[in-house]
Chain A
Amino acid sequence: MTDTAMADAPAKAATGGNILQVRNLEAWYGESHILHGINFDVNAGEVVTLLGRNGAGKTTTLKSIMGIIGKRTGSIKFNNQDIIRSTSDKIARMGIAFCPEERGIFSSLDVRENLLLPPVVRAGGLPLEQIFDLFPNLKERLNSQGTKLSGGEQQMLAIARILRTGASFLMLDEPTEGLAPVIIQQIGHTIARLKKEGFTILLVEQNFRFASTVADRYYVVEHGKIIDGFANSELAANMDKLHTYLGV
């Protein structure tokens, strides 16, 4: 799909109504122009994955949606409300939650405090029992310092803490990065289960083998633009192209 085609007709969604609509999104870090007109949609209940090489603009796209990039233009509509000018705290209160690539576990807080830190923004968040059911390790480490956990446990904590806030739209930035295969598998099961629970998930991944186990649709980001998009059912047919895009 060409850039223009993507702008006009984002990849068709399979599930519920449109929840996020991004049009002509541009973003800057200081003087550096990172995003050059991103266009895509996410529908309710979907898992959509942004694929792309390092530095393509995937993380910046998530950060722009979350409102933590200083300068951004274009349009980001969440539940038909334009949030491009909203601050990140207001965006979070609309029901969007962000799990950053670096996990953002606070060293001055123990696991319990890290878990309970994000305020509940609306009803419908997972109760703690259900979170411990998803991540049993966390229950045993509640009094440990957050940064004393293993990489996998920290990732679980980073995902767990946004599940109880009531946010229905989760943005996960490379949740499998640097983790052992068995943990990656566990994160995959968790994402699948969250989808079943009705969460909508926007995932950033470089590991498309992992993404293929959870995603409904893919967008490929390169040089700050969406250059292609396809459904999971079309993955096999697009494999060659994908290898070229990702340089694998």
Chain B
Amino acid sequence: MQALYAQLLVGLINGSFYALLSLGLAVIFGMLNIINFAHGALYMMGAFCAYFLLNLVGLNYWWALLIAPILVGIFGMILERTMLQWLTGLDHLYGLLLTFGIALIVQGVFQNYFGSSGLPYAIPDQLKGGINLGFMFLPIYRAWVVIFSLVICVATWFLIEKTRLGAYLRAATENPTLVRAFGVNVPRMITLTYGLGVGLAALAGVLSAPINQVRPLMGADLIIVVFAVVVIGGMGSIMGSIITGFALGVIEGLTKYFYPEASNTVVFVLMVLVLLVKPTGLTGRAA
């Protein structure tokens, strides 16, 4: 039974990363209509940023949680201003190819300097150790990742669904020309939205660093599963991405317990089933 709970926890942690990453992808897709294949590379940059901040500047994990998403977010905004904005109105394929190319370049550069092996990043002192719950041992850092991710996901959902700024974002997703004609600087809003989505990826990278080590290809391994999550949840759906992210993490964890051989493929099997039954995803709307 303890093994089941342990796998459930692993599932929840993976689900946290899936949710944070797919949420960023959903925000970017909704606003920019771009399938951001660079997301995994930007997640990796978040983890490396935390590593550099600690080893070069001496700023600890807590500072990294704040600074890394901002720095990587600024990098993302530069990408959007210099490259992605020119793809407005073009077929999705162009955005996909461009961002895939960016991902390969970024990962290639990091691999060139740091090789493929992982760099260690220690769990912060305040989050070391664990709690014995009786039925299982709960590592504090892992519980922190799940709770913090959940808080960030809900905060992002609230920002987009319940605030004036979110109303601008949702309206601009539908009709950017009219929103701009109301006096809203839509191009600047698009840049900031891309920065927000990228910042979420970087935040997931920082959270992941103490668990998964810091590796140039850490994002490449994860992003394929995250795209499956996004397809299942429905492209562009904020709440769909969050719920599907956590749910698929848990399903993956349960599969590891009940039928380990299928644990790496269960998400893709579900993706195929959802595409067959509801091509727009569980919570997605038809274009």
Contacts and interface: CB of A to CB of B under 8 A. Distances in A.
Interface of A: 66-68, 87-89, 91-93, 97-98, 100, 104, 106-109, 113, 116-119, 121, 162, 165
A116 B168 CA distance: 10
Interface residues of B, number: 18
A117 B174 contact: no
B196 to A, nearest CB: 18
Contact of B183 (A104, A108, A116, A119): A119
A117 B181 contact: no
B82 interface: no
Nearest to B162: A113
Which 7 pairs show the lowest CB-CB distances between chains A and B? A92-B183, A118-B182, A108-B170, A88-B181, A104-B178, A106-B171, A113-B167
Contacts, number: 56
Interface secondary structure of B, over-half rule: helix
Give the most central of A97, A98, A104: most B CB within 10 Å.
A104
Contacts of B179: 117
Contact of A98 (B168, B170, B181): B181
A28 B280 CA distance: 36
A89 B181 contact: yes
B184 A89 contact: yes
B183 A165 contact: yes
Contact of A121 (B167, B173, B183): B183
Interface in B50-109: none
24 contacts: A66-B181, A67-B181, A68-B177, A88-B177, A88-B180, A89-B181, A89-B184, A89-B185, A92-B180, A92-B183, A93-B183, A106-B170, A107-B174, A108-B170, A108-B171, A109-B170, A113-B167, A117-B167, A117-B168, A117-B182, A119-B183, A121-B183, A162-B182, A165-B183
Contact of A109 (B171, B177, B180, B183): B171
Interface string B178-196: 1111111110000000000
A204 to B, nearest CB: 15
B132 interface: no
Contacts of A68: 177, 180-181
Interface of B: 164, 167-168, 170-171, 173-175, 177-186
Interface secondary structure of A, over-half rule: loop
Contact of A108 (B174, B177, B184, B185): B174
B174 A106 contact: yes
A95 to B, nearest CB: 10
Contacts of B173: 108
Contacts of A87: 180
A161 to B, nearest CB: 8
Given A68-B177, A117-B179, 9 more contacts: A67-B181, A88-B177, A92-B183, A104-B175, A109-B171, A116-B164, A116-B167, A118-B183, A162-B182
